[in-house]
Structure 1
């Protein structure tokens, strides 16, 4: 017996261009998502232009496929008007939904239209029932869960919410929580929250343990996950409550789209037919052939740090073939364990993926010197490549062999979409009526969407002398729908008496009905649309700031005590283990200081105990870092302030307003904003309720993948790892020798911090002039002495006793690695 609550699910495919769009439709996608212009999380994809939207949606709706536009980035203040134009263009074209990250854009869409569908992007970092509940007032149609949610989480969220849940089931995995990766922004001004991810997770790093580089053999890619492939667990995910199965890949080829969509279409359909489907070895190989860094369930079956990544290569490999046994004069003797034929592309893996690898197309296959025709499925085989393709002196015994391409497979996949075609036919229901002396009236119903057209004969019905319009005869004539998208499902007749009409009339009626139904399919859906001004109507009054507040964020008891010895009034505590919070609160109160406690950045099902434990510590405020935590604390009607942190991704005044209206006392802008974007926002936002972080080690990666467990333990997760994080300190050393600290939180999630501190001291004057009252400086591993020194330095700057350049120079002189302006200047 099926446990699922739903009768159907959605298969959602990516499309980076028209070919991919056609491939998705022809292979059975229920819906397609795609980007338009620059406002999406894949700016490197070709994407579509705004003026193409009507044609795209007409094409998709013709085949009964929904189209969602990705608007899954943060939107800056000076872009809000452009954003409004795109939103309205999507509504006019009949787009079925916008996939949105920015809460300010959610608010804008709802002002424009109360009924235009919004899907909450995975970039929102929605990972708990509380986070879904937070979005409820904004009437989202679908919520895309974080890739880190497992089956049990999904089931708990589904049980507590009526909002359909979307889950990624195939494609590249981000090692960092979506919406919480700042690495590209920090290192190159290419924000992942703006669709410009530079894939820093795919770079090699050395693991530094307690200050010493650990010997890791050929493992260098310690943050590069395998690719997600959940084909085998489709039934379990349906029964857990997944509504939409999302395939990643807007940068991928149309062959990839055709391949992956067709496989998941089959798995979903066979589940509902109760056929006990299980993918074959060949089907898995075909998926690997299109794109694969090795397959994993990701986190869907729970955290297994040992299975998440391979560590020896960061790029697609294809199908593993076998190993080199001997290098011959004109060929390579190999032991293979997967099919191989002439024309296939292969590469020899010597364990140095960062260097040029030998490989090419298979020219011939031999066994003991004799040519072999057709495909070889396994065993020892001599592989002959073109003499200009491979340097045999650089191929070694023991090298792994990968099959990187299969022309025959690609040709087969291309045939599915090269000619425009529907994946299946759509049923029509026909009803006819009339009598002698009247026109024949036929009512045609498109059963898929309920569209109805009525077509009458141009000639009156006559008394039949022979061959009257029987139900069978009408079915034969109206059922001639070859070459159309339709098939006749049912036909009913209310004809009075034995009547007849010329057969050419029946043919005309059929053609006209089909044309009209196709036209109705392609008409854009209508939405309510209100005129909205994206700018503030009232003139902002800025009060001069005479006594700004400086708030240090401390990550150790030594730092807390040092901060207490200065004359600041507020402290934030952000400890790896929230169980140490009571001690921090007690210490701050001993010195007469007020203290706010920081929540974890991620809130998962079953973790409300962590948040409740923070309240029991008796803090004076809470620094809130997730939508789930905002929802949890605001529903408790606390008498202490809630302060929104950078991880809420606030990038414009509309997002500021939304979070303040939802119960936060003040908010922190996203770290994706540079100085001009911050200024643009402060000029129109409630700047007295905005807190600026002006000193910190930027938190770059925030990930469920635990480096400590993976490389310092024999275990697979927190239950059996032995907690090496309590005994050791790990850093990741990059290619230029910078060591970036890796720290663990109460949920065993890792944060990789930038090695170099960044300072916004030079912009303090600008922020004060714009009405910013509260300023934060964050510490990581600094000693108590250093904490006091930096606090006093910034206090002097805020009080006007020294300028920002003086602070910058002092920090640069006293820090071994110097100091950077970070993303503010990007």
Structure 2
């Protein structure tokens, strides 16, 4: 790797060319299989091979995203796809699924694995765990600060990759179920419908609107870190990643060029580093929703969000001064040219736009006007004096960007050194060498003759050998070994030159190694891996587990018949952490009753919280805790360090047998399957470990480091200190269909957005017999003890009826649940699943 790798997106072949032409050290792209941007144009297998060869010839690395969760029935195909990529000389694969990563290590040990940001790596312990699994690079969660990144760098020897520009997700990547549960399009499977970009209304517990009108309360601004490049490098970031596989090639060209220039400028002269305002203006012009440094400098509060609109806003052009008949006077704050696109933000709502065809300055038609000018324009009729005007596209900027990837003459050239030999009776030979030492040679098929009229000269040779216009090469030096008076036809000179360059290109491509074993060895190893899975399907009625958030709720669950209780994890605002005496009491009570008690780690925690988490773990151990529920990789690594017993939570996104193999190798005694699996897919999973599924609860669909309540209600402009409205009342977000997504916040100010519908599978519990499921869970961490007691009791009775074969009683008991929790019931993905 270079000191710092600039990594650009390639959603199609044009974007690939744009990225390479404008200075990317690496590109990342997706195939038409197993990639988290299924709605992008993407690459066929043949196109992937062509892309890799094109990039490698130009010295650019290619990473392919294989970053979706993989179903059991897809696993053999997915592993074979990895083989294809390794055999095609890919430089690395970006992976989300733990099972796919585990399998890859068994059959493709030399393939470079890169942990997708979908793996939600938020701390050094999680990175270390993936390092043990064989990952070479970690793409860190976007919620980390520069200080946290620097801390992870000190603790971790792996390559660290960070997003530096482009769209941000509101939710921690890999933890979002909003699109999946609401619309059936899973972000974990590459089909996110982006419901976070829609408008929502903040409401109180009674459903009353707290602010006038709906706004885009979950829509983030775009990340921009041009001015933070020095600090990112100092923090130890190895790879700068530009987001944007769904973006057009012009965007890739402009943004890549800006970061290339700034990275080079800093590396050449750190002390004199500056950012040209024009560079920021250009990247803003090509696409922005307003810019933010994200979480790199700490919690940005409301400045993270783009409440006004979820799409490109361009750059501010000026205001409408007055109307002149059918035209408008606009005072320009930025240059304007014919062909530019503009939008008017009219006071009545909406953003009508047009392409500027007619600019008049002092009554005279002009092609362009500078900033500061008062120009007359044709605008949409809704425009009024005082309305703001934004330039959403710059015709000249886009034209320049297109030329960088459409021109036959490449902008980014590879310097080469050439030597040529020509003498009568000898073969005409050409040798070319690049600055890495790769050599390409070629010779004529017949020896040169003695010239009669036109002997070959150095001038003719230089002219012919320097004809490199449509190649990626430029001639830096030429050594001519010319003896006697040879005659070599120009066609032969050109042919030998082309062959030498072709051989050099081949050598440059072959310098990137294949990372796979011989095909037959791979097939044999894979067949053995697929055959060796062992697991028995449990046919007995599952036991009942309940996840709760308070000591009182835990007691209620045990009293009502739960056989296992999970307690802990998040501490909600307004509550206190569980005391040692309460933990001791529960440990003794469950042991006395022959039941199980698991202490839950927070579903997610960041690097800055590691000391607190370790102290909490010591406190739990002091209280007698022996078993732990873990929902993130950092907590799992802690369990390994302390040699403790754990159970994997659903937030680990367990989708297949190999993921269970991985957890088993890491020492867990069981796991909760992903709620995105359907009934048939659950049946298809081997019970390599005891399995649990969630059958009741309002699942958090989003877990975010940004608190909407703090930003909108917590104080001036959403900045700290927050007035903590979450401690005083309950709130929700209402969507355009009238559904209200309830909100909770924890003492770390993380934001949880819950499904407006309650998952309830009681009426269909009999379908879980024979699936290998040994536990059914009620997910009630945010519920009061009265709710926990009532629902647990109903489920206990249902499972008892199931044991007695009284299946018809389930529908009656399901009706009791419906009366208690309301009619907004969902079966989750049990019957539909995700594609």
The two structures share one fold, judged by TM-score above 0.5: yes
SS at match of 2:106: helix
Q: Name the structure 2 match of 1:32.
A: 27
- The 3-state SS of whatever aligns with 2:405 is coil
> Who is 1:674 aligned against?
678
Does structure 2 conserve the Cα–Cα contact (< 8 Å) formed by 1:342 and 1:375? no
The alpha-carbon deviation at position 500 of structure 1 amounts to 8.0
For residue 425 of structure 1, report the CA deviation from its aligned partner.
Answer: 2.2
SS at match of 1:705: coil
Query: 1:506, CA displacement in angstroms?
Result: 7.0
Q: 1:351 to 1:764 in 2, by over 3 A?
A: farther
Instruction: Decide which moves more: 259-268 or 566-575.
Output: 566-575
Q: How does 1:343-422 map to 2 (within 5 A)?
A: 343-350=339-346, 357-366=351-360, 371=365, 374-378=368-372, 380-385=374-379, 390=380, 392=381, 394-422=382-410
Closer, same or farther: CA 278–113 of 1 in aligned 2, 3 Å: same
Tell me the distance in 1 between the aligned counterparts of 2:253 and 2:700: 38
Please identify, of 508-517 and 480-489, the stretch whose mean Cα deviation from structure 2 is larger: 480-489
Which deviates more, 358-367 or 233-242? Answer: 358-367
1:9-42: CA deviation from partner (whole Å, max 9, x where unpaired): 2111112222212222222222221111141111
Deviations 1:49-73 (A, max 9, x none): 1232222222222222222211111
Structure 1, residues 401-444: CA drift from partner, whole Å, max 9, x if none? Answer: 22122222222211111124444222335578999998787654
Residues 569, 370 of structure 1: alpha-carbon distance in 2 compared, 3 angstrom cutoff: same
1:654-673 alignment runs, 5 A limit: 654-673=658-677
Q: Does the C-alpha gap of structure 1 residues 261 and 599 become closer, same or farther in structure 2, counting only changes over 3 Å? A: same
The residue matched to 1:581 in structure 2 has which SS? coil
Paired position in structure 2 for 1:713: 714
Q: CA 1:470 to 1:381, structure 2 compared with 1: closer, same or farther past 3 Å?
A: closer
CA offsets 1:328-382 (integer angstroms, 9 cap, x no match)? 42122334322223332222223676xx542212233345756555223135443
CA contact (8 A) 1:697 1:780 kept: no
1:217-366 mapped onto 2 (5 Å cutoff): 217=212, 220-274=215-269, 276-350=272-346, 357-366=351-360
Once residues 181 and 225 of structure 1 are traced to their aligned partners in structure 2, the CA distance between those partners, rounded to angstroms, is 15
- The separation in 1 between residues aligned to 2:424 and 2:312, in whole angstroms, is 70
Q: CA deviation at 1:540?
A: 5.0
For the 8 Å contact 1:204–1:734, the answer to whether it is kept is: yes
CA contact (8 A) 2:265 2:273 kept: yes
| Aligned-partner Cα distance in 1 for 2:364–2:152 | 61
Cα 1:528/1:343, change in 2 over 3 Å? closer
Quick one: distance in 2 between partners of 1:653 and 1:534? 14
Determine if contact 1:81/1:534 at 8 Å carries over to the other structure: no
1:679 and 1:352 map into 2 onto residues whose CA distance is: 55
How far apart are 1:263 and its partner, in Å? Answer: 1.2
Residue number among 636, 644, 649 corresponding to 1:630 in the alignment: 636
- Show the counterpart of 1:3: none
Once the two structures are TM-superposed, the CA of residue 783 in structure 1 deviates from its matched residue by 3.7
Q: Using the alignment, how far apart are the partners of 2:407 and 2:428 within structure 1?
A: 37
CA 110–375 in structure 1, closer or farther in 2 if over 3 Å, else same: same
Structure 1, 154-163 or 576-585: larger mean CA deviation:
576-585
- Corresponding residue for 2:649? 645
**How far did residue 212 of structure 1 move?**
5.7
Matched, 1:41 2:36: yes
- Does the C-alpha gap of structure 1 residues 432 and 362 become closer, same or farther in structure 2, counting only changes over 3 Å? closer
Distance between the aligned counterparts of 2:464 and 2:560, measured in 1? 91
Q: Measure, in 2, the Cα distance between the counterparts of 1:153 and 1:653.
A: 34
Aligned alpha-carbon RMSD (Å): 3.3
Q: Does 1:696 align with 2:697?
A: yes
Q: Is the 8 Å Cα contact of residues 585 and 595 (structure 1) preserved in structure 2?
A: no
SS at match of 2:303: helix
1:201 pairs with one of 196, 200, 215: 196
**Take 1:511 and 1:547, find their aligned partners in 2: how far apart are those partners?**
73
TM-score of the superposed pair, with normalisation by structure 2: 0.88
Q: Deviations over 1:539-595 (max 9, x none)?
A: 856365546321111123442232232333421114542861226424524644643
Report the equivalent of 1:528: 516
Residue 101 (structure 1) aligned with residue 102 (structure 2): no
User: Equivalent of 1:427, from 415, 435, 442?
Assistant: 415
Q: Answer yes or no: is 1:581 the counterpart of 2:578.
A: yes
CA distance in 1, matches of 2:562, 2:445: 89
Distance in 2 separating the partners of 1:735 and 1:113? 48
- Structure 2 Cα separation of the partners of residues 326 and 443 of structure 1: 69
Contact 1:58 1:521 in 2 (8 A): no
Q: 1:809 aligns with which of 804, 815, 818?
A: 815
Are the equivalent residues in 1 in contact too, given 2:404–2:411 (CA < 8 A)? no
Secondary structure, aligned partner of 2:577: helix
Query: Which residue of structure 2 aligns with residue 73 of structure 1?
Result: 68
Three-state SS of the structure 1 residue aligned to 2:203 is strand
The count of corresponding residues between Structure 1 and Structure 2 is: 804
CA distance in 1 between counterparts of 2:601 and 2:167 reads: 29
Q: CA deviation at 1:711?
A: 1.3
- Summarize the Cα distance change of 1:591–1:717 in structure 2 as closer, same or farther, 3 Å threshold: farther
Aligned to 1:514: 501
**CA 1:425–1:575 in structure 2 vs 1: closer, same or farther (change >3 Å)?**
closer
- The answer (yes or no) to whether the contact 2:421–2:429 under 8 Å persists in 1 is yes
Asked whether the equivalents of residues 715 and 722 of structure 1 are also in contact (C-alpha less than 8 Å), the reply is no
The 2-side partners of 1:674 and 1:351 are apart by: 48
Distance 1:609 1:341 in 2: 56
Partner residue, 2:743? 742
Matched, 1:116 2:114: no
Q: Please, which moves more after superposition, 143-152 or 717-726?
A: 717-726
How far apart in 2 are the matches of 1:469 and 1:111? 60
Q: Does 1:451 align with 2:438?
A: yes
Distance 1:158 1:370, change over 3 A: same
Note if contact 2:603-2:632 (Cα within 8 Å) is conserved in structure 1. Answer: yes
Distance 2:509 2:220 in 1: 41
Decide whether aligned partners of structure 1 residues 570 and 19 sit closer, same or farther in structure 2, where only a CA change above 3 A counts. same
Deviation at 1:146, TM superposition (A): 0.9
For the residue of structure 1 that corresponds to 2:386, the secondary structure is coil
Match of 1:731 in 2: 732
Provide closer, same or farther for how the CA distance between residues 536 and 413 of structure 1 changes in structure 2, counting only shifts above 3 A.
Answer: closer
The residue matched to 1:657 in structure 2 has which SS? helix
2-structure distance, mates of 1:612, 1:15: 41
CA contact (8 A) 1:698 1:753 kept: yes
Question: Once structures 1 and 2 are overlaid, which stretch shifts more, 197-206 or 773-782?
Answer: 773-782
Gaps of 5+ in 2: none
- Contact preservation (8 Å) 1:193, 1:672: no
> Mapping of 1:473-512 within 5 angstroms?
481-489=468-476, 510-512=497-499
Alpha-carbon spacing, 1:779–1:488, altered in 2? closer, same or farther (3 Å):
same
Could you tell me how far apart the structure 1 residues matched to 2:812 and 2:46 are?
51
Tell me by how many angstroms 1:77 deviates. Answer: 0.9
Cα distance, 1:22–1:713 mapped onto 2, change above 3 Å = same
Mark the CA change 1:371 to 1:441 in structure 2 (over 3 Å): closer, same or farther: closer
Distance across 2 between alignment mates of 1:352 and 1:613: 55
Q: 1:768 to 1:301 in 2, by over 3 A?
A: same
CA shift in 2, pair 1:399/1:822, >3 Å: farther
Partner residue in 1 for 2:183: 188
* CA displacement, residues 725-753 of structure 1 (integer Å, 9 cap, x when unaligned): 33333221222222222222343211111
